[in-house]
Structure 1
Amino acid sequence: MIAIDQDSSKPPFEQICDQIAGQIHSGDLSVGERLPSVRAMAAQLGIAPGTVAKAYTHLEQSGLVEGRGRSGTHVSAGQDSARGYAARAAADFAGQVRTLGLDIDELLSIVRAALARTR
């Protein structure tokens, strides 16, 4: 189940993306499984349909889901979806930390430490 934290600094579409991606990677959502329609998810979360559509588009661009027209949005197959999501997240992170003045080795050390804490 997806939930929006109104107190989060992350916008709702990012929260949706993160939660769906997490459910895909944990196996809670299976390959080929259909996601709720944009309108249904928006109604469930009490947010605008455009917010859900933006999240689904972002997930599709990341390779985690695929839109099948009137058949809805489904979880994509294969490791490419995980790699695509990771590449997108890494690109977002790189864009955010670029101006901090830290060298690449220091940033990689910080990322490794963060990953170790989540195991």
Structure 2
Amino acid sequence: MPDPAIQLFSVTAGSTEPIYRQLVEQVTRLVASGTLQPGQSMPSVRELAGALAVNPMTISKAYSLLETSGVLERQRGIGMLIAQHSNNTRKIDRRIELLTPTLNKLIFEANQLELDADTVIAQLTSMLKGPAQ
């Protein structure tokens, strides 16, 4: 039976960002949001590679980077798990830090389009609230 966590991941093959970086960022964000919990097992390299139709070495590289950064830990005989101390990534400062590059890009593009802050904030607020109910 496939690991249900596989459904949490997706990659964009045509992106300028390498697939392994896309996965690293997704896992980091999922841990920061609490979607992936400390001690939770990750899909195997083979399973995730098959589900995403990517080379297993790509998944292995992402997992290695996540292990080096302390987000994942290797458990002999079990595989990769979300690190027990990964609760530190749930702190608001860390989550904002993860969002900062996206916000910087938003600011850059808004400036290029000569959009004022109030217009951008209104649009962002509307989008965050979701569709009108």
User: Partner of 1:73: helix, strand, or coil?
Assistant: strand
Q: TM-score, normalised by structure 2?
A: 0.61
Which entry has the higher C-alpha Rg, 1 or 2?
Answer: 2
2:43 to 36, 42, 55: 36
Instruction: Write out the 4+ residue segments of structure 1 that deviate beyond 2 Å after TM superposition.
Output: 78-82
Choose 33-42 or 2-11, whichever is displaced more. Answer: 2-11
Any conservation in 1 of the 2:70–2:86 contact (CA below 8 Å)?
Answer: no
In structure 1, runs of 5+ residues without a counterpart are 90-109
Instruction: Please give the per-residue CA displacement for 1:54-107, whole angstroms capped at 9, x wherever unaligned.
Output: 00000000000101122010001225863xxx7xx9xxxxxxxxxxxxxxxxxx
Q: Could you say what the CA RMSD is over the residues aligned between the two structures, in angstroms?
A: 3.0
1:49-88 equivalent positions in 2, closer than 5 A: 49-78=56-85, 82=89
Any conservation in 1 of the 2:31–2:86 contact (CA below 8 Å)?
Answer: no
Percent identity reads: 27
1:12-31 equivalent positions in 2, closer than 5 A: 12-31=19-38
